Amino acid sequence: MPHGAKTSQTRRRYGSENASKTSCNFYLIMIIYKNLTNILTLQEKEETMSIVHFTDSNFKKEVLESNIPVLVDFWANWCGPCKMITPIVDELAREYSGKMKIGKVDVDSNSSVASKYGVMSIPTLIFFKGGKVMDQVSGALNKSSLKQKIEENL
C-alpha cells in the first residue's frame, strides 16, 4: 500500500478533519504515555534510593560513623517474614529520609556483620545511634509497631 493511501482512506471514511484529529490524538497519547513512563521511572529510582544496602565493607562508614540514627534490617532473600516486612521498611525509609538512615544487610552475603552483632534469627532489626546499639527487635513487625520503634530511637 503506498504511503499516503491509508491516510486517503481514512479521510474518505471519516472526513479530512476527523483524520487529522485522529492522528493528532494518537501523537498526543504517545507523548503523554512517554512522559508518564519517565515519571514512573523517576519515582521507582527515588523509592529505591531511600534504602541503603549495607555490607561487611561499608558497615563501619555507613552505620557506625553515621551522623543520624540508623536502622539496620538483617534479612535474607529466602526468608518469608523478611519479605513480608520489606514493603514496610521501604516505605518507612522514604518517610524518615534525612531523620534516620534505614538499610538492609543480606546475612548470606555479609555474614561478618551479622555474626558480630549476634544475629541468630531473621528478620532482626537493630537500631544504632552514635555507633552504638540502642535497640533490637527480632521477627516481623507491623507498620505501626515499627514506626513506634523508630520514633523511640530517633
Note the pLDDT tens digit of each residue in 84-107: 999 999 999 999 999 999 999 999
- 24 catalytically annotated: no
pLDDT band for position 9 (cuts 50, 70, 90): low
CB 110 within 8 A of CB 57: no
Q: Which is the catalytic residue, given 51, 79, 113, 141?
A: 79
Exposed, middle or buried: residue 124 (CB in 10 Å: 0-12, 13-18, 19+)? Answer: buried
pLDDT band for position 75 (cuts 50, 70, 90): very high
81 is written with which cell numbers?
517474614
CB neighbour list of residue 100: distance below 8 Å, 6 or more residues apart: 68, 69, 70, 71, 150, 153, 154
CATH number for the domain running over 50-152: 3.40.30.10
Q: Which is the catalytic residue, given 82, 85, 113, 141?
A: 82
